[in-house]
Amino acid sequence: MDDMDLNVRHEYAASPDAVHTMLTSPDYLSDLGQAHDTAITVENEGDVSSLTVQAKAPDQVRSMVGETLSVDARVLWERDGEGWRGVVEVAKLKLPAKVSARAGLQPGGPGTVVEYDMAFSVTVPLLGKKIEKLAEPRLRRALDAQKRSGDAWLAEHKD
């Protein structure tokens, strides 16, 4: 069974270091979550960000996961030339699924180009593909919301 692939590109008017600081900021991520009725917490230790995300579960998966969909993940950040590369390790996902994700931050566009690559597969017989199709636009909307919030945050926190 093929995974659902998601590739998203965003451009920010800030340096890769400023964008990396934003994407690892507990204040930024908490505010982002609150704006979208989601609880996001992050703890940073060196170049590792540990994230917990809790959101209201979509109607289509509540029978499997309950009222709340939760994810615990770690993002392993490392320098990549003048930018950053982040690899996501999902430690706990309250859904029978596999996730592979990474983010790249490189100089470009008006300052930084961020590219997200994700593969997602739900391992529920007969329903997996349907749930994946429901997840793709939700994940895209979440990343696009992050972009809009990020633009505002970066404007307030100039490098």
Question: Would you list the DSSP string of 115-157?
Answer: EEEEEEEE--TTTHHHHHHHHHHHHHHHHHHHHHHHHHHHHHS
User: pLDDT for 42-90, tens place per residue?
Assistant: 999 999 999 999 988 888 778 888 898 888 999 999 999 999 999 999 8
Residue 1 pLDDT > 50, yes or no? no
Residue range 15-44: average pLDDT?
A: 93
The end-to-end CA distance of the chain, in Å, is 45
Scanning the structure block, which residue is given the tokens 């982002």? Answer: 32
pLDDT top residue among 19 and 158? 19
pTM check: above 0.85 = yes
Map residue 61 onto helix, strand or coil: helix
Scanning the structure block, which residue is given the tokens 């934003």? Answer: 22
The pLDDT-based confidence of 105 (bands split at 50, 70, 90) is: very high
Contact 141, 44 (CB under 8 A): no
pLDDT top residue among 137 and 28? 28
Residue range 93-106: average pLDDT?
A: 88
Residue 2 pLDDT > 70, yes or no? no
* Cα dihedral sign, 12-15-20-23: negative
pLDDT score, position 133 = 83
Rounded to the nearest integer, the mean pLDDT of the chain is 90
Q: Which domains does the chain have, with CATH numbers?
A: 4-157 (3.30.530.20)
pLDDT score, position 104 = 97
Q: In terms of Cα–Cα distance, which of 125, 57, 116, 74 is closest to 96?
A: 125
